[in-house]
Amino acid sequence: MDIICVNDYEEMSEKAASIVVEHIKQLSKPTLGLATGSTPEGLYKSLIQKYQQNQISFKDVTTFNLDEYTGLSKDDPNSYHYYMSHRFFDHIDINPSHIHIPNGKASDFGQECIKYDEYIRKNKIDIQILGIGENGHIGFNEPGTPFASRTHVVELAESTIQANSRYFKNIEEVPTKAITMGIETIMESNMILLLVSGEKKAEAMERLLNDNVSEDFPASILQRHGNVKVIADKKALAKVKDLTRVLC
């Protein structure tokens, strides 16, 4: 796991965008795994800027999002479909048929998960963008999720509902379930780019580096992946005492 230290959120986003662009340019048909939430917003802004400056095209890029709430339609402003369209896809030249996000309104969630996971197996993800939950979740894989999990429906942890309620009018509106790529699905990506910013993530960052690998802290599995880059800002690294592994 390479840990790259940056000053702040802006630098983290810029650095991540440069890594993504560099990889897209090297691959003929790149496949990106994408995350939502506040962490990657700056990355998407920077990628849009690079597209507008003709530095990069997304026309041959295929994307798979990590997760989607169940029960929310694509045009619900709180759905991850809506988030991705408004914050990224509507502003770049990606082919809409190359975009994949789990269907939160599927009539059969079991089938939706199987179909989604098969698509990912067939189109191996080159770079998976990840954020991390304060409880160590990746995607919506909450503590206790088996490392062998594939795409599945999850019951969201109370702390995740609480954290995500900032996007909703009130906490009662936050869906309690979501479809998420499984941990094994995520781990099959060729490269993982984990972005960590802010003091709220400082404890998770410290645990990521120092905890034993355990299903109690899902992100700890990343220690077993051969190609992970973590870009963390100074606030996120504030609780890490031993910085010898960190590239500053």
Q: Which active-site residues does the annotation give?
A: 67, 135, 137, 142
Distance of alpha carbon 21 from alpha carbon 2, whole angstroms: 19
Tell me which residue has its CB nearest to ligand F6R.
131
Which of 26, 103, 37, 14 has its CA nearest to residue 61? 26
Q: Is 165 exposed, middle or buried (0-12, 13-18, 19+ CB in 10 A)?
A: middle
The Cβ of residue 217 has, within 10 Å, a number of other Cβ atoms equal to 19
CB-nearer residue toward ligand F6R: 37 or 182: 37
Handedness of CA 41, 34, 82, 205 (dihedral sign): negative
**Rule CB under 6 A: is residue 36 a binding residue for ligand F6R?**
yes
Q: 210 and 248 in contact (C-beta within 8 Å)?
A: no
Nearest Cα to Cα of residue 113 among 139, 151, 66: 151
Contacts of 185 (CB under 8 A, 6+ apart): 117, 120, 149, 150, 151
Residue 133 within binding range of ligand F6R, rule CB under 6 A: yes
The yes or no reply on residue 194 touching ligand F6R (CB under 6 A) is no
Query: Which C-beta is closer to ligand F6R: that of 30 or that of 198?
Result: 198
Q: How many CB atoms lie within 10 A of CB 201?
A: 24
Closest contact distance (angstroms) between CB of 148 and ligand F6R is 19
CA distance 194 to 229: 6
Q: Can you tell me which of 15, 81, 100, 137 binds ligand F6R, judged by CB under 6 A?
A: 137
* Cβ-Cβ contacts under 8 Å for 107 (sequence gap 6 or more): none
Contact status: 192 vs ligand F6R (CB under 6 A): no
User: Considering beta carbons, is residue 5 or 156 the nearer one to ligand F6R?
Assistant: 156
Count of residues touching ligand F6R (by CB under 6 A): 14
Q: How far apart are the C-alpha atoms of 224 and 84, rounded to whole Å?
A: 29
Q: How far apart are the first and last CA of the chain?
A: 14
Nearer to ligand F6R, 94 or 219 (CB): 219
Stretch that binds ligand F6R, among 7-15, 36-44, 168-176, 222-230 (CB under 6 A): 36-44
Q: Does 95 bind ligand F6R (CB under 6 A)?
A: no
Residues 39-68 contacting ligand F6R, CB under 6 A = 39, 66-67
Q: Which span sits near ligand F6R by CB under 6 A: 32-40, 118-126, 186-194, 214-222? A: 32-40
Cβ closer to ligand F6R: 60 or 106? Answer: 106
Q: Work out how close the CB of 141 gets to ligand F6R at its nearest, in angstroms, rounded to a whole number.
A: 8
Residue 35 lies near ligand F6R (rule: CB under 6 A): yes
Between 139 and 182, name the residue whose CB sits nearer to ligand F6R: 139
Would you tell me which residues interact with ligand F6R (CB under 6 A)?
35-39, 66-67, 131-133, 137-140
